Amino acid sequence: MGYAFHMSQMIMILTSIDQAEQAQWMTQQLLEKQLASCIQQTSGTSTYRWQGKLECSQEYYLHIKTTLALKEQAVTWLERHHPYETPEIIILEGECSKGYGAWLSKETLKI
């Protein structure tokens, strides 16, 4: 049995936000709407260039795990509800174990 027989498709969407309450609200909404099965939150310092200036801010990072089928719906929801003028929305397509993939699909919206 080869590697490919034990894998499922999935995506992880990465975004960041500067307010803990907003990060928690976004997490709860995405999970309640079944657009994601799991969202990990971490925090740290982001340093970046914005409008010609160097900026540094405390941010909360969301790692949103969902199915490939829900990619457009999850990204559209984030674009509509994210308070940043230009939100970070990075989509990583990948593989996960069959068992995790089955759980991911079970806990998300069926389309």
Q: Which pLDDT score is estimated for 4?
A: 52
* Residue boundaries of the structural domains of the chain: 3-106
**Between 37 and 5, where is the model more confident?**
37
User: What is the model's pTM?
Assistant: 0.91
Architecture of domain 3-106: 2-Layer Sandwich (3.30)
Whether pLDDT at 104 is above 50: yes
Band of residue 76 on the pLDDT scale cut at 50, 70, 90? very high
Report the distance separating Cα 6 and Cα 80, nearest Å: 36
Band of residue 3 on the pLDDT scale cut at 50, 70, 90? low
Q: pLDDT tens, 17-26?
A: 999 999 999 9
The SS3 call for residue 82 is coil
